[in-house]
Chain A
Amino acid sequence: MTEQQHSHHYQSGMTRRESLKWLGLLVASSTVSMVSGCGDWTHTAQSGAGHWPDLKLAPITARGYGQDPNLLIPPESPWPKTLTAAQLELVAILSDIIVPREGSVPSASQVHVPDVIDEWVSAPYSVQQQDRVTLLHALAWIDDEATLRFNANFAALDPQQQLAIVDDIAYDNEHTAEPFRQIAGAFGRLRSLVLAAFFCSPVGTRDIGYMGNVPIAGDYPGPSDEARAHLEEVLADLGLSDCAYSG
């Protein structure tokens, strides 16, 4: 992970509410130049981007599951969950934008993805604690952005307004505008976790096409005819047909 959580503090010594008001003023102008801790940069103000919340997060002090947990019946809630109802709601909305319902396949929140995210960000391990910082800032940023653009929390926006914001932050590549770089990275982390939690659910595991974890009597049958036929095409395309494995 490369995102720098604290690189864009736009102002210190101000309360969050004050900072937002200040940014709100900036929104009114067109293009502004801002001074941040790590250098000057400009941004298009309509977006309201360029802000970054300054959250003081209490450290997670719960214990882990230890080096000899019961593996047969994994602990259902190995540590206290920490997301607030509002954060969970926001995670649920975003999860369903990332993995919406498709036909008979349920959406992320319908298979309890937000609970998995809550467990993840509440875990007392280093990767997860880092993700907690990333994700909680992302959630706060998204609400801040919603407030700046539409004067309401993200959850209160209509779907078009929500997507207007998501479209700006869901692509983290060379075209990403500078003010959205940090949030795009953070949103990417949320996206990965939502996808993982969805595809690890029984429904998602079926959706991705995983067919294992079932005992087979007798010898392992190997690839299906369809899979073998596909391999033959691949070998032909790569000019490797003459090199096919013969045992």
Chain B
Amino acid sequence: MPAFRHEVLVVGSGAGGAMAAYTLAKAGHKVLMLEAGRDYDPKTETPMFQTNGEAPLMGASTRDKNFGFYDATVDGGWQVPHEPYTTASNSEFLWWRARMLGGRTNHWGRYSLRFSEHDFKGKSRDGLGADWPFEYQDIAPWYDKTEELVGVCGTNTGLDDMPPSPEGILQPPPQPRIPELLVAAAAKKHGIPVAPMHRAVLTRPKDDRAACFYATPCGRGCSIGAAFQTTTSLIPMARATGNLQVITQAMVKSVDVDDNGRVVGVTYVDKHSVEEHKLTARVVILAASACESARILLNSKSRKFPKGLANSSGQVGRNLMDSTGAYLGALIPALKGRPRYNEDGHTANHLFIPWWGHKMQEKGDLDFPRGYHFEISNGFSQPGAWVGGNLQGYGPALKQDVRDHYGAYVGFALRGEMLPNPGAYMEIDDKVQDKWGIPVPKFHFRWSENELRQVEHGLKTARLLLETMGATVGDVPAAEKAISKGGEIIHEVGTTRMGSSASDSVTNQWGQTWDCDNLFVMDGGVFASNPHKNCTLTIMTLTMRNATWLAGQLDKGML
């Protein structure tokens, strides 16, 4: 094999890392990717049609497989073997990781909503949090390109929270299901819109990837490549250019600098031999996920950078944001015993409730800033360990009861924007190291009144909709009780935020750190705010834009 001489090191192979590697490789730059997890091939490893009944414990979640036996996550979940993290007293934070090629893109929900013009300039509007260093128009063409490459189904709705894609970009969404149609009618009665969800799922074939065949839950991964994951798309496509090589089981410990403070490469631990190696490169891109990238920077201390690398602003690890989450569901009596049909579809929301409150907020009618959306849980899904519910009696009458209740529940899962607050951040716990000798993150987390009032509004709205569908709901729980734990929604971002000034941000709008011009961050860490529209499409879009800019810089010999 001829020697492969890389220019760029990319740390991580998830949404950010794979898009960075793909973009650079396509532009003719040689990339070496380091991934802490094992190699992983969805084509040969995905349990597609295996049933819950064939799995241990009917597929139920356990300590080992937190989202069920068949979930694609390898060596991860709320805990990674031998890689602990800590939380400050009085804080609760959950940190979901996966240790595998492709990272969490192998099992993410694929909900892929564009941020809108409101989202990039929230501070200009309501004075809270931080603005992004660019506007929606600047990133819109990159959303177009990313949606095209990734493959997103959905429609242009004309709603103010859902900016349109150019004609021909979105693939047709699947038909709505019965409970979704009922929700849509109930919502319409109250002036609340319901729209086709945008999902990174192919409904038309693309490249080497087949169209969805409307069976098999996407959280297991998708062996036919219909559900987007980097291991069936960006990584093989980048490898095919000859410009990408990947080292798996390579846990990056720190970014190395020379005496002048210039980044020269990284130090990583080979997990097989547990030995440290150093690699040099012209440019280093961190895309290990928001909190891992911040951790690497904070652990990269040198004489020149005693507070950690790229941290002259003191913002590395700060501004930690997740999405808010809350859930309210109920039995809909009118749906009991409803006619059966195949309701799998693409196994996630065909319809959802986008944020409808921008106008109300402008008028000052709401007592909280920023928005949320509802994902709808419903349907005749494959029976699992909890299908029996909590019914009474025994015998044929009981069985009939189970059949009647099956598919008759509807639930609303709120996902909302969190604003940064000074009590939500991560730092390094000097007292605890992982198996590889790397100090671990320590999380501090709290919600503010903004999030609690938003959740309160959401719960009331969900109750209204359930009651409109004929359900008996009763009192809704208090927002403090109902709101998710920090990190639980797995949209953690902001820990290396971008901005327009080196004094209060870690990178510029290109993800280039203010302190080291050949060091970039290309994951959710760079988010200046965390809009309710799930983060990953924007991670990929920003990465495509910024890696393209970086390729231009390299071409010009700038770095």
Interface residues of A (CB under 8 A from B): 64-69, 71-72, 74-75, 78, 97-100, 102, 116, 119-120, 123, 125-128, 166, 170-173, 188, 191-197, 199-202, 204-205, 207-217, 219-224, 226-228, 230-231, 234-235, 237-238, 240, 243-245
Contacts and interface: CB of A to CB of B under 8 A. Distances in A.
A228 B47 CA distance: 32
A-B pairs, 9 with minimum CB distance? A222-B175, A195-B388, A212-B344, A245-B184, A200-B53, A215-B213, A209-B340, A192-B388, A243-B188
Contacts of B393: 170-171
15 contacts: A64-B63, A67-B64, A68-B38, A97-B394, A98-B398, A100-B396, A127-B60, A170-B393, A173-B392, A192-B388, A195-B388, A202-B51, A208-B403, A213-B382, A245-B181
B188 A245 contact: yes
Interface in B21-75: 38, 45-47, 49-58, 60, 62-65, 69-70, 73-75
A208 B402 contact: yes
Nearest to A199: B383
What band does the interface of chain B fall in when counting residues whose beta carbon is under 8 Å from A? 35 or more
A205 B53 CA distance: 9
Contacts of A98: 394-395, 398
A33 B48 CA distance: 58
B74 A67 contact: yes
Contacts of B403: 207-209
Nearest to B213: A215
A74 B57 CA distance: 11
Contacts of B62: 64, 123, 125, 127-128
A7 to B, nearest CB: 20
A92 B57 CA distance: 18
Contacts of A213: 49, 51, 215-216, 344, 382
Contacts of B340: 209-211, 227
B224 to A, nearest CB: 9
A64 B184 contact: no
B185 interface: yes
A110 B174 CA distance: 39
Interface centre among A119, A127, A238 (most CB of B within 10 A): A238
Interface stretch (B11-19, B137-145, B331-339): B331-339
Which applies to chain B's interface (DSSP): helix, strand, loop or mixed? Answer: loop
B392 A200 contact: no
A61 to B, nearest CB: 15
Contacts of A245: 176, 181, 184-185, 188, 194, 351
A65 B64 contact: yes
B499 interface: no
Contacts of B189: 240, 243
Nearest to A105: B399
Given A191-B394, A200-B58, A64 B214 contact: no
A164 B75 CA distance: 50
A245 B192 CA distance: 12
A97 B395 contact: yes
B391 A208 contact: no
Interface string B170-185: 0010111110011011
Contacts of B76: 67
A72 B394 contact: no
Contacts, number: 241
B395 A238 contact: no
Interface centre among B52, B58, B176, B215 (most CB of A within 10 A): B58
B341 A211 contact: yes
Interface centre among A66, A207, A215, A217 (most CB of B within 10 A): A215
A245 B194 CA distance: 8
Given A67-B64, A67-B76, A223 B177 contact: yes
B384 interface: yes
B382 A205 contact: yes
A170 B392 contact: yes
A71 B46 CA distance: 7
A205 B342 CA distance: 13
B181 A220 contact: no
Contacts of A192: 386, 388-390
Given A213-B49, A220-B174, 17 more contacts: A65-B56, A66-B64, A97-B394, A120-B57, A125-B62, A192-B390, A202-B51, A210-B380, A210-B383, A215-B215, A216-B342, A219-B172, A222-B177, A230-B339, A234-B335, A238-B468, A245-B188
Nearest to A94: B394
Given A207-B403, A216-B213, A220-B174, A196 B384 contact: yes
A69 B182 contact: no
Contact of B50 (A72, A116, A199, A220): A72
A237 B333 CA distance: 12
A69 B38 CA distance: 13
Given A195-B388, A196-B383, A213-B51, A227 B178 contact: yes
Nearest to B180: A245
Contacts of A193: 388
Contacts of A226: 339, 341
B244 to A, nearest CB: 25
Nearest to A244: B185
B444 interface: no
A20 B196 CA distance: 63
